Amino acid sequence: MLQIKDLTITHLKDLRIILDKFNMVLNDGDKAVIIGEEGNGKSTLMKWIYDPNLAEAYTECSGERITGGESLGYLPQELNECDRVKTLYEFFSEGTLFFDKTPKELSEMASQFQVPSEFFYSDQIMGSLSGGEKVKAQLMRLLMDEPTVLLLDEPSNDIDISTLELLEKLIKDWKHIVLFISHDETLIENTANVIIHLEQIMRKSKSRYTIVKDNYENYIKRRADNFQRQEQQALNDRREKKIRDEKFRRVYDSVDHALTYISKGARDAPGKNLKDKMHTVKAMGKRFEKMDENMTEMPEQEEAIFFKLGNKDAIVPAGKTVIEYSQDELRTPDGSKILSRNIFLRVRGPEKICIVGTNGVGKTTLLKKMADELLSRKDIRAQYMPQNYEDMLDLAATPVEFLDDTGDKVIRTRIRTYLGSLKYTPDEMDHPIRELSGGQKAKVLLLKMSMSDANVLILDEPTRNFSPLSGPVIREMIASFPGAVISISHDRKYIDEVCTKTYILTEEGLK
In terms of C-beta density within 10 A (0-12 exposed, 13-18 middle, 19 or more buried), how is residue 107 classed? middle
Compute the distance between CA of residue 451 and CA of residue 403 in angstroms, rounded to an integer: 9
* Number of Cβ atoms within 10 Å of the Cβ of 205: 10
pLDDT for 205: 73
CATH class of the domain at 2-224? alpha beta
User: CA distances (Å), 134 to each of 104, 266, 427, in order?
Assistant: 22, 93, 34
Residue 257 has, within 13 A of its CA and on its CB side, a CA count of 6
Confidence of residue 296 (pLDDT cuts 50, 70, 90): low
Contact 363, 357 (CB under 8 A): yes
Query: Which stretch of 135-139, 381-385, 424-428 has the lowest confidence by average pLDDT?
Result: 424-428
Contact 2, 26 (CB under 8 A): yes
pLDDT for 301: 58
User: CA distances (Å), 338 to each of 331, 342, 345, 380, 495, in order?
Assistant: 4, 11, 18, 30, 27
114: pLDDT strictly greater than 60: yes
Compute the distance between CA of residue 198 and CA of residue 74 in angstroms, rounded to an integer: 20
Of the ranges 35-44, 430-439, 487-496, the best mean pLDDT one: 487-496
Q: What is the pLDDT of residues 45-68, one digit of tens each?
A: 999 999 999 988 889 999 999 998
Q: What is the pTM of this model?
A: 0.77
Compute the distance between CA of residue 61 and CA of residue 36 in angstroms, rounded to an integer: 20
CATH number of 320-510: 3.40.50.300
Query: Which stretch of 41-45, 312-316, 404-408 has the lowest confidence by average pLDDT?
Result: 312-316
pLDDT for 304: 52
For 262-270, which contacts have Cβ atoms below 8 Å and span 24 or more sequence positions? none
Closest CA to 305 of 54, 125, 39, 79: 39
Domains 2-224 and 320-510 share a fold: yes
pLDDT for 424: 81
How many residues appear in the chain? 511
Compute the distance between CA of residue 501 and CA of residue 511 in angstroms, rounded to an integer: 11
Q: Are strands 484-488 and 321-331 parallel, antiparallel or unpaired?
A: unpaired
Can you give the residue ranges of every domain in the chain?
Answer: 2-224, 229-293, 320-510
Confidence of residue 267 (pLDDT cuts 50, 70, 90): low
Contact 55, 48 (CB under 8 A): yes
307: pLDDT strictly greater than 80: no
pLDDT for 293: 75
Q: Are strands 456-460 and 382-385 parallel, antiparallel or unpaired?
A: parallel
Torsion of CA 91, 92, 97, 100, to 10 degrees: -140
3-state secondary structure of 323: strand
Confidence of residue 99 (pLDDT cuts 50, 70, 90): very high
CA angle 134, 392, 340 (to 5 degrees): 50
Angle, helices 103-112 vs 131-144, to 10°: value is 140
Please compute the mean of the pLDDT values over residues 170-181 and round it to a whole number. 96
- Rg value, the chain, Cα: 29
